[in-house]
A and B are shown apart, each in its own frame.
Chain A
Amino acid sequence: MDLATYLNVMRDPSGLPFYPIVFQFLLVLTFTLHIIMVNLVVGSTFLAIWELWKKNEYGLRLAKALGRVLTVGMSIAIVLGVAPLLFVQVIYDPFWYTATTLSAFWALLFLVVITLAFYAGYGFYLGNRNADVNSAKTGWALVAAGLLLCTALFIHMLSMEQLMPQHWKEWIVAANGTVSYSGGEFHGLELGRLLHILIPSFAVTGVFLMLYAAYFDKREDYDPKYLEYVGHKGAWMAFWASAIAIGAGFWWLGLIPKEFHFARNPLFLVGAALGVVTTAYIGASLYKPKEKAINCALFMFLTIFVMSCAREALRMKHMSQAGYSIYNYPVNADWPSTILFFATFVMGLFVLYFPAVAAFQAGKVKAGEVATLDPSLGKKAVGAMIGWFVIVAGLGIIVSLKNGVLF
């Protein structure tokens, strides 16, 4: 059996429940959201350490805020990561399952390490809640930072191994015919690519600081000088990190096989151009961080989204070289479940408006004050959930009765 046959035979016999391009779009979109949160977590952790080392009041205040960002952000990053993990298994199943099984030990170690990183993050956040400049400690944040880098390395390796199918067999079948079942393979470190994923952490965190300064600008109990300090720091950090990320991107480009001609790929060209424009725009916003924060965030999101599309195009190049295309994956379209998801997705956006407004308004009032929300917001959100339940439970009862399985 050759590699191309293996890859195509190993596609799931059930086929896809909908058209592959839909899963591919959802994969790229949710990956973008996930990686932005990952970047924010990594950047916040390192910046919190740096700010505490400076031993001044503003640094301490910012580090405490970043401690909260670190814990909340990690939760969100993990939940957002579920979706791309799901969709990659749907359309790239032979690559995902093979690479992960070959490196089973590392895949499971990743879970242990990320759990420890999470708790180290909480250790930092809860441990410093009441600390002053002299008593604040960086120990847990250092542990979290180290562990987060380990997880980045593991996931990078798992991603890279998926792009190297031509080497899989030689990794576990020795020349004398012995087959390894250890799950301990660790291959494919490509520093340019890894850095191109990690360095934007500081750019994303920088833009976050700009948004933070803009958001709290109207709060009377926030020291304007502190917000100026945060906004200024954010803008400079975003600018330099974006510029360095472009450099890392070109380093990565140099590592991509020449025969892909990836430098001429339209998605790559648009992504690179957007990267340059975003950097230039942030550069022009250095002295107006609060005013330009939202625009910078939009540019940043767009750049990361297009770069995620380019990354997907690169993956397809690698996989087509091995004789695999997602576009000829057999489809057994299942409309009812597809409608279930998209209807729920739309409902989810509607429901999320309520916590978003609540969080936004709660942050706008002074400490000790209470924000009053429109009472219909919560009722509509909860009502939508109950409505979903009634419809699905009703459907379930009808299906169960029709199939004679209820009683």
Chain B
Amino acid sequence: MYPFWEVPFFTSGMVIALIATFHILPCHLATGAFWFIVYVERKAYKEKRPELLEFVKKYTLLILIFCFVIGSLSGVGIWYAATVASPRGISGLIHNYVWGWATEWVFFIIEIASIYVYYYTLGKIDPKSHLMMGWLYAWAAWISMIIITGILAFMLTSGKWVESGGFFDGFFNQTYWPQLLTRTAFMFCIAGVYAAIVASTLTKKKVRKELVRTAGLWGVLGMVAGVVFAYWYLHKLPAHAKELWIDQSLPYLAHLLKIAIIAYAIVMAWFVICCLVKPKLAGPITGIVILFVLFMGIGAGEGFREGVRRPYIIDQYMYGNQIVARDIPAKHIKAEVPIFEKDGFLTHLYFKPDKIDPKNSRDLLKAGELIVHHQCGNCHALDRFGKIRPLSKLLENLAPESPEDIEGFLEALGDYPFMPPFAGNDLDKKAASEYLFSITRR
């Protein structure tokens, strides 16, 4: 196993979650905005209304400054965060989908070339060619979504990949299409929010009102389509995921869904009231409030997607603690739990003290600390004042009276539908129990 990085209070997994949620706003804006911009630019040429081009210029600059700074860097940020928080997880994705990411990279290059040329050549090349540049960007950006959705969907439902090991079998799995269509619909909604904000700052009143309304209409249509596809998406979740959510094995999933629904209702109301009915009300202030609501809604939605995947980080293949869950014969991969049960987990660790004497109680605690960090620390805060599934508090709820009580709990860990089994031999279990008992009594 790679070295473990501990984030006090919040867990390293939460670092990825925060960056990923933050990434969605600029990246969905980047994918959705140009369909709207091209629509407006086309209208400007067709109806001979050059005043609409002020919006085109302003909106594109926003995308450049926001999406191509925050969006691209937070995208890289997810990789970095995943690298330090779950190196074997991201490695598993990369070694199966490197050509997918490399293909997406080609479209990133097209995106960046076309958006800069689009921005800097407005009024400097003929309108038809300029419009084509906008189309080029719109397609490149959406295709990048088509690709990354396949990798995200693979994490949630790995499909026939577990049998064949084939790239496309994992990519086009049962949640791919509904997830792609849901994201596509909501990208128009996010683009609509930003478009309304930018349009509300235009100098000409008539244009301002018209574009705010148009942005609102795009937003509403995106929201309506989004909810239909989201329903299909939820319907396509595997039985195991539904058990966690509908059967309340993990009650927080239902709460997350409620937050997402409330955020949805608020954004929808904003589109209808502040954009369609009273466009005067749409402005940077209400817009920023709505962006915050969107952020919360997206965070809840993505948290739900991550939650229903438990106990895996890659469905069926790798547990959240980065241990390989099953054989994948097509790739000559062996499940690791039986190996660790046979050899002991510590035998497979490189970053450990040279000598650990299990008869020495201090050494036993150190061994337990190592095992618990590697097997529990990805999802559970290990410090006393931890905020994310704090292990000490969770164990206190079980009121263990001795390390043996915890040992029994570890024995049954795999029976919980959302928990990976304990991966180690009896001595590992004893060491982990001693350590866990020690942190419940701090």
- CB of B332 within 8 A of CB of A362, answer no
- A10 touching B133 by the CB < 8 A rule? no
- Beyond A1-B348, A382-B136, whether A355 also contacts B126 by CB under 8 A is no
A96 within 8 A of B: yes
Q: Do B112 and A79 touch (CB < 8 A)? A: yes
Residue A277 lies at the interface, judged by CB distance under 8 Å to chain B: no
Q: Do A403 and B172 touch (CB < 8 A)?
A: yes
**CB-defined contacts of B110 to chain A, threshold 8 Å:** 348, 351-352, 355, 385
A265 interface residue (CB < 8 Å to B): no
Q: Is the Cβ of A85 less than 8 Å from the Cβ of B79?
A: yes
Binds A, one of B160-168, B216-224, B243-251, B255-263: B160-168
Contact B332 A17 (CB under 8 A): no
Size class of the B contact interface (CB-based, 8 Å): 35 or more
Q: Are A104 and B84 neighbours in the complex by a CB distance under 8 Å?
A: yes
Task: Choose among B4, B83, B100 the residue with the greatest number of A CB atoms under 10 Å from its CB.
Answer: B83
Asked whether any CB of chain A lies closer than 8 Å to the CB of B286, the reply is: no
Question: Which residues of A have CB within 8 Å of B129?
Answer: 358, 372-373, 375, 377-378
How many angstroms from the CA of A90 to the CA of B79 in the assembled complex?
13
Q: Do A385 and B4 have beta carbons less than 8 Å apart?
A: no
In the bound complex, CA of A26 to CA of B106 (Å): 13
Task: Find out whether the CB atom of B83 lies under 8 angstroms from the CB atom of A86.
Answer: no
Residue on B with the closest CB to A388?
B143
The reply on A365 being an interface residue by CB < 8 A is: yes
Instruction: Point out the residue from A6, A80, A336, A405 that lies within 8 Å of B159, measured CB to CB.
Output: A405
On whether A389 and B139 interact (CB within 8 A), knowing A108-B84, A179-B370, the answer reads: yes
User: Contact mask A204-226 → B, CB, 8 Å, 1/0?
Assistant: 00000000000000000000000
B166→A336 contact, CB < 8 A:
yes
Verify if A334 is at the interface (C-beta below 8 Å from B): yes
Roughly how many angstroms separate A216 CA and B171 CA in the complex, as a whole number?
48
Asked if residues A334 and B167 are in contact (CB atoms below 8 Å), the reply is: yes
> Which residues from B are CB-within-8-Å of A373?
125-126, 129
A320 within 8 A of B: no
User: Contact between A403 and B169 (Cβ–Cβ < 8 Å)?
Assistant: yes
Nearest B residue to A72, CB-CB: B116
Is B5 located at the chain interface by the 8 A CB criterion?
yes
What chain A residues lie within 8 Å of B123 (beta carbons)?
370
User: Which residues of chain B (314-341) have a CB below 8 Å from chain A?
Assistant: 324, 328, 330-334
By CB atoms of chain B within 10 A, which of A101, A169, A389 has the most? A101
Q: How far is the CB of B69 from chain A (nearest CB, A)?
A: 5
Q: By the criterion CB–CB under 8 Å, are A372 and B126 in contact?
A: yes
Instruction: Please name all residues of chain B whose beta carbon is closer than 8 Å to the beta carbon of A14 when the two chains form the complex.
Output: 92, 95-96, 165, 328, 331, 333
Query: A101 contacts B136, CB within 8 Å?
Result: no
A97 lies within 8 A of B133 (CB): no
B361 an interface residue at 8 Å Cβ cutoff? no
Contacts of B75 in A (CB 8 A): 82
A39 interfacial by beta-carbon distance below 8 Å: no
As a 0/1 sequence over residues 221 to 253 of chain A, the CB contacts with chain B under 8 angstroms (1 = contact) are 000000000000000000000000000000000
Q: How far is the CB of B101 from chain A (nearest CB, A)?
A: 5
Contacts of B12 in A (CB 8 A): 104
Shortest A380–chain B CB gap in Å is 10
Q: Whose C-beta in chain A lies nearest to the C-beta of B369?
A: A179
Chain A interface: which of B47-55, B303-311, B350-358, B393-401?
B350-358
What CA separation (Å) do A361 and B133 show in the bound complex?
A: 14
Residues of A within 8 A of B159 (CB): 403, 405
Q: Within 8 Å of chain B (Cβ to Cβ): is A345? A: yes
Within 8 A of A (CB), among B106-161: 106-114, 116-117, 120-121, 123-126, 128-129, 131-133, 135-136, 139-140, 143, 146, 159-160
Q: Does B39 interact with chain A (Cβ within 8 Å)?
A: no
Q: Does A255 contact B (CB under 8 A)?
A: no
Q: Using Cβ atoms and an 8 Å threshold, which residues of chain B touch A386?
A: 139
Contact of B252 with A by CB under 8 A: no
Shortest CB-to-CB span from A119 to chain B, Å, is 7
Asked if B133 contacts A114 (CB within 8 A), the reply is no
Asked whether, in the complex, the Cβ of A361 is within 8 Å of the Cβ of B6, the reply is no
Most buried by A among B126, B324, B333, B351: B351
With A and B bound together, what is the CA distance between A108 and B105 in angstroms? 22
| Docked complex Cα distance between A15 and B173 (Å) | 22
- Within the complex, the shortest CB–CB distance from B293 to chain A, in Å, comes to 24
B84–A100 touching, CB < 8 Å: yes
Q: Is B98 an interface residue (CB 8 A)?
A: yes
Which chain B positions have C-beta within 8 A of A337?
Answer: 97, 99-100, 167-168
* B83-97 interface (Cβ within 8 A of A): 83-85, 87-88, 90-92, 94-97
CB-based contact A358/B80 at 8 Å = no
A169 and B176 form a contact (CB under 8 A): no
Q: Mark B373-399, 1 if CB is under 8 A from A, else 0.
A: 100010000000000000000000000
For A111, give its contact among B76, B98, B108, B113 (CB under 8 Å): B76
Does B83 contact A101, Cβ atoms closer than 8 Å?
Answer: yes
Quick check: is A326 within 8 A (CB to CB) of the other chain?
Answer: no
CB contact between A108 and one of B80, B102, B106, B173 (< 8 Å): that residue? B80
Is B254 engaged at the interface, CB distance under 8 Å to the other chain? no
Q: Which of B128, B167, B369 contacts A17 (CB 8 A)?
A: B167
Please state if B92 and A396 are interface contacts (CB–CB under 8 Å): no
Per-residue contact bits, chain A 336-348, to B (CB 8 Å; 1 contact, 0 not): 1110110011011
Interface presence of A41 (CB below 8 A): no
Bound-state Cα–Cα, A395 to B150, Å: 13
- With A111-B73, A396-B176, A399-B172 as known contacts, state yes or no: A348 contacts B107, CB within 8 Å: yes
A378 touches B106 (CB 8 A): no
Q: Does A332 interact with chain B (Cβ within 8 Å)?
A: yes
A12 and B83 CA atoms in complex are apart in Å by 13
* Any B CB within 8 A of the CB of A312: no
Please report the C-alpha to C-alpha distance between residue A86 and residue B136 in the assembled complex, in whole angstroms.
Answer: 25
- What residues of chain B have their CB less than 8 Å away from a CB belonging to chain A? 2-6, 12, 15, 64-65, 68-70, 72-77, 79-81, 83-85, 87-88, 90-92, 94-103, 105-114, 116-117, 120-121, 123-126, 128-129, 131-133, 135-136, 139-140, 143, 146, 159-160, 165-169, 171-174, 176-177, 324, 328, 330-334, 347-353, 355-356, 363, 366, 369-370, 373, 377
The 5 lowest CB-CB distance pairs between A and B, nearest first, are: A378-B132, A177-B353, A104-B84, A97-B87, A181-B6
If A348-B107, A365-B124, A405-B173 are given as contacts, then 11 extra A-B residue pairs at C-beta distance below 8 Å, sorted by A number, are: A6-B350, A12-B92, A26-B102, A82-B101, A82-B105, A107-B84, A177-B353, A181-B4, A341-B99, A341-B102, A385-B143
